[in-house]
Amino acid sequence: MKLPHLFLISIGLMFGLFACDSATDEEQYSSFFSNEELSYPVNIEQGKKLMENRCYVCHNPSIPKEQLIAPPLIQVKEAYHAEDFGHFLADMKRWLNHPDTAYTKMPKSIEQFGLMPKQKYSEETIDLIANYMFRAQIEAPEWWSGNNQGNQAKEHFETAEDQGLHYAMSTKRVLGMNLMGTIQKSGTLAALEFCNVAAIPLTDSMSQKHQVYIQRVSDKPRNPNNRATGKALEWIEKFKNDFKIEKEVTPITERIDDKIHFYYPIETNDMCLQCHGKSNAISNDVAQQLANLYPNDEATGYEVNQVRGVWHIIFDAD
C-alpha cells in the first residue's frame, strides 16, 4: 500500500474513521462528541500501551528533531487542547475523518510533513488512546524544553544497560526512518525489497558508527543470517514469558571477559503485521513477494505486542 506524506502518521494509526461523508460538518462533529467520561471502565495504562505500540513508530520522543517525520505527541496534545475530554475526542475524530487543511489545528505541521493517510482502528482503541493523551502527562523530547543536547550521542553512560539501549534505539531509529520513507515513497512491496537488501548493511553501518557489534536475531527468522543461537535463544524465551504475564521488561547484560553482551526484545507493532502478521493480515501481493524473496520464511503469524527476536549487542566493558 502506498502512503502519502506522513503527517501525524501514528495518530492516523491510532484512530478509526467512521463518520459518513454525506453528513454536514455539524452533524459529523456531533456524531463524534461524547461525554467527558467514557461509558465503560477504563484502565488508563491500557491507553498508554496502545499509544506506544501504535504511535511510537514515528512519534517516539527519543527521535532527534532533525529526523522527525511527524510532530511529537505533546505538540499534538497542545494543539488539540480542550477544556473537557468530549471536545478533545470530537476534535480529534473530526480531523481524522477528513485529514485536510479544512479541519486541522496544525497547519504548520501540514506544511512541514504533509497530510496524514486514513487508517482504521476500533472505536475502543480510539477512546483509550485519546483518554490517555487527554489525562496523562505526555513524554516530551528533550529538545522540546530547549535542551538540544538530547539530539547528540552521550559520551558517558551510567550503566551498561543504558549504553546498550542507546545503541539499540539509535539503530532502530535509522532502520525505522529508512523503512517508513520507503513505504511512503513506494509502498509495502518496496519496503520488502529494502529489508531484503539494506537492513543488514544498515545495521552493520551502525555497528561501525558506534564501534560495537550489533545484530538483530530471532528464533523465527526471515533471513537465515538472523537466526538466534545459544544465549540469545534463552533470552528470547524469557522475554516471551515476561510479555505473557505483563512483567516489566528490562535489558539483560552479561559480562564475558572484557566484553558486555546486551540483550533486549524486539516487539511487534501494527506496522510490523503488514509483513509479519497472520495470513489474514498480509495482502496477497505481499505474501507472494515474501515467498519469492524468502522461500524459507518463518517470520509470520505474529500479533501486536509479541516478541519477534532480540537485539544482541556486544561492547567493551568499562
Q: Tell me the pLDDT tens digit for each residue of 158-167.
A: 889 989 988 9
Q: Is 82 exposed, middle or buried (0-12, 13-18, 19+ CB in 10 A)?
A: middle
Helix 85-97 with 123-135: angle, nearest 10 deg:
130
Q: What is the pLDDT of residue 201?
A: 84
Give the CA distances from residue 256 to residues 20, 167, 260, 316, 317, in Å, rounded to whole numbers and listed in that order.
61, 19, 6, 10, 9
CA Rg, the chain, in Å?
A: 21
CB 9 within 8 A of CB 116: yes
Half-sphere exposure of 294 (CA within 13 A, CB side): 21
Give the CA distances from residue 281 to residues 81, 165, 271, 302, in Å, rounded to whole numbers and listed in that order.
35, 30, 11, 10
d(CA 300, CA 281): 10
Q: What is the pLDDT of residue 8?
A: 40
Domain ranges for the chain: 9-145, 157-316
Closest CA to 13 of 166, 100, 162, 117: 117
d(CA 56, CA 221): 24
Closest CA to 8 of 94, 68, 82: 68
| Positions of E strands within the chain | 213-217, 252-256, 259-267, 307-316
Q: What is the pLDDT of residue 186?
A: 81
In three-state secondary structure terms, 188 is helix
Query: 216: which strand partners?
Result: 311
> In the chain, which stretches have pLDDT less than 70?
1-42, 96-97, 116-121, 145-156
Q: What is the pLDDT of residue 153?
A: 37
